[in-house]
Amino acid sequence: MIDLQNVNLTLGGRPVLRDISLTLTQRRIAIVGSNGSGKSSFARLLNGLHLPTDGQVLVDGLNSRSHGRKIRKNVGFVFQNPDNQIVFPIVEEDVAFGLKHLGLSADEREAKVVDILKRYDLIGLRHQPSHTLSGGQKQLLAISGVLVMDPRYVVFDEPTTLLDLRNKLKVKQAIASLGQTAIVVTHDLDLVADFDRVIVFEDGRVFADDEPNKALRRYLEAMQDA
């Protein structure tokens, strides 16, 4: 469970989030809102990339202020642009990087890398330079690099924004197949139509919080009135 209690966030002297109190327990949660509404900053609070100015963020009871390393192990984060996340030149090296710090044997690391690359149809590219992959393959590689670490939660920040329709469908299928809790920041409303919960942000506050059809209807109505 991720619990935010009376959270405010100020960045660069500007209030970004105001009085956020939410408990996240559902398996598929979407975060939507207009540009500048605070949704991406909210996502970064969930694994300690941002710390609240006031209030607290608890992940399975751990406070992000004092247990940042443990929280980042339990809350994986997939960035909008996979080029910001892929750090090694060869596909299998990038996936294996984080495993080196877990005390696993070479055989155990190899098995985990092979398993995750097979899951996302990247096994045939394991020796290929990362920069030669397509946009969709890069996004799947970024997802693989997070999931190979077995986090309990995975936060996605606009995972389909840079992709064409075919690759959007691949990423949608990847999210749908996760065993972990997925929290997805997105403008792609089709992506989240079958989610358990949609939280809409506007001007740094929670504007709507409901099942998808109700929350998205309120969001679209507000967009029309703006």
User: What tokens does 49 get?
Assistant: 């990339």
Is pLDDT of 31 > 80?
yes
pLDDT recorded at residue 226: 61
What is the three-class DSSP state of 45? helix
Interval 102-125 mean pLDDT: 94
Alpha-carbon gap, residue 64 to 117, rounded angstroms: 31
Q: Is 95 exposed, middle or buried (0-12, 13-18, 19+ CB in 10 A)?
A: buried
Is pLDDT of 125 > 70?
yes
Least confident span in 50-59, 162-171, 181-190? 162-171
The CATH number assigned to the domain with range 27-37+69-225 reads 3.40.50.300
What is the three-class DSSP state of 55? strand
pLDDT recorded at residue 97: 92
DSSP of 109-146: HHHHHHHHHHHTT-GGGTTSBGGGS-HHHHHHHHHHHH
Domain ranges of the chain: 27-37+69-225
Buried b (16+ CB within 10 A) or exposed e, 128-154: eebeebeebbbbbbbbbbbbbbebebb
pTM: 0.94
**pLDDT tens digits, one per residue of 67-102:** 999 999 999 999 999 999 999 999 999 999 989 888
């989240």: which residue's tokens?
A: 192
pLDDT recorded at residue 217: 94
Q: Is 86 exposed, middle or buried (0-12, 13-18, 19+ CB in 10 A)?
A: buried
End-to-end alpha carbon distance in the chain: 34
Least confident span in 2-6, 91-95, 103-107, 211-215? 103-107
For residue 159, name the pLDDT band (cuts at 50, 70, 90).
very high
